[in-house]
Every structure is written in C-alpha cells, then in structure tokens.
Amino acid sequence: MTADCDLARVGDALPLASQVLALSLPMARSVARRRAVFDRLAFGLDGIEGTRVLVMPPGEAPAPYVLAWAFDDATAADAVYAVSRAEGLAVFRWDRVWPGTPAVGGDTGTTWQRCVLQVLCHQDLADAQVEHSVQVLGRAARSALAAPSSTTP
C-alpha cells in the first residue's frame, strides 16, 4: 500500500469525502474522554521515583492516544512491561524494530525501545479499567525499581 503513496501530495487538501467526515463526525466525547484517561494515568503514575510521565505542552495533544511513561532503568521497564502484558493491560512499547533499520549514533530510539512504555488512553476504556491499570503499573514499577538493577540505558 505504501509503495503507491505519493508523498509529494502530503500538503494537499483532504479529498471532499474526508473533509465531510472530519467535519460531521462527533468527536467531542472521544477527545474529552481521552484527555480524562490521560490525566488519570498521569496523576496515578507521575512521581514514582525512577520514572517520569512524558507530557507535551498544553494544546499539543488534544486527544492523546497513549501516555508515554519513561523509566531510568531498562531492566525495571522490562519487568513492568512483562507484568502489564501478563495482566492483559493495554501497554505497548517500540520493541519490534523494522528489519534493516539502520543504527545511527546518538539515536534515542534504541533507548526508547525498552525504557518508554505507552499506556493506551482509548476513550472506551472504563474507569475501572483505567484504575486497574494505574494500580497494577504502579505496584509493578515500585517493585521493579526496588530490585537491584543490572542494566541502565
């Protein structure tokens, strides 16, 4: 599909059908809910020593897809990621690298592959699911960060 993508048209106006859909679909509830989920996750996970919630300046992410949560210790991030996946939480990271991706000196992507977890902010997550995520992730992080570490980015 991307082989036929004409990148020279990136700046062109959207086709009429896309414009009509963008203007007619109700998005206010989804936007507000994504912000609320993001805020609850950020409030629950921010301040855990050895981690930080990565936030954008106000107005930069009107409807966030994920909360990016960075760990100072890659081993702790690995442990929290394993717990989150075992618990079935909506947590992802960039640990699958496209074959042939070049290694570039100074690229932070290799650090982010392991040290940044993405916690989903989907608008259809129930409050109980979000709260469960906060509790499981917080417990897992505190436990992993209390353990002796052997790997840092």
Q: What is the tens place of the pLDDT at every residue in 81-109?
A: 999 999 999 999 987 777 887 878 887 77
Cα separation of the two ends of the chain: 36
**Per-residue confidence band for 11, with pLDDT thresholds at 50, 70 and 90:** low
Number of residues in the chain: 153
For residue 128, the tally of other CB atoms under 10 A from its CB is 8
**Amino acid letter, 102:** P
Task: Give the residue carrying structure tokens 């840092």.
Answer: 152
| Structure confidence at residue 150 as a pLDDT band (50, 70, 90) | very low
Predicted model pTM: 0.76
Average of per-residue pLDDT across 64-88: 95
Q: Which residues are paired to 51 by β-bridges? A: 71
Q: Are 84 and 136 in contact (CB under 8 A)?
A: yes
What does the alpha-carbon distance between residue 138 and residue 134 come to, in Å, rounded to a whole number?
6
Q: What is the pLDDT of residues 104-140, one digit of tens each?
A: 888 777 778 889 999 999 999 999 999 999 999 999 9
**Neighbour order of strands in the sheet with 51-54:** 51-54, 66-71, 116-120, 91-92
The tokens for 130 are: 């979000």
pLDDT tens digit sequence for 18-62: 667 666 666 788 888 999 999 999 999 999 999 999 986 665 657
| Predicted local distance difference test score (pLDDT) of residue 112 | 80
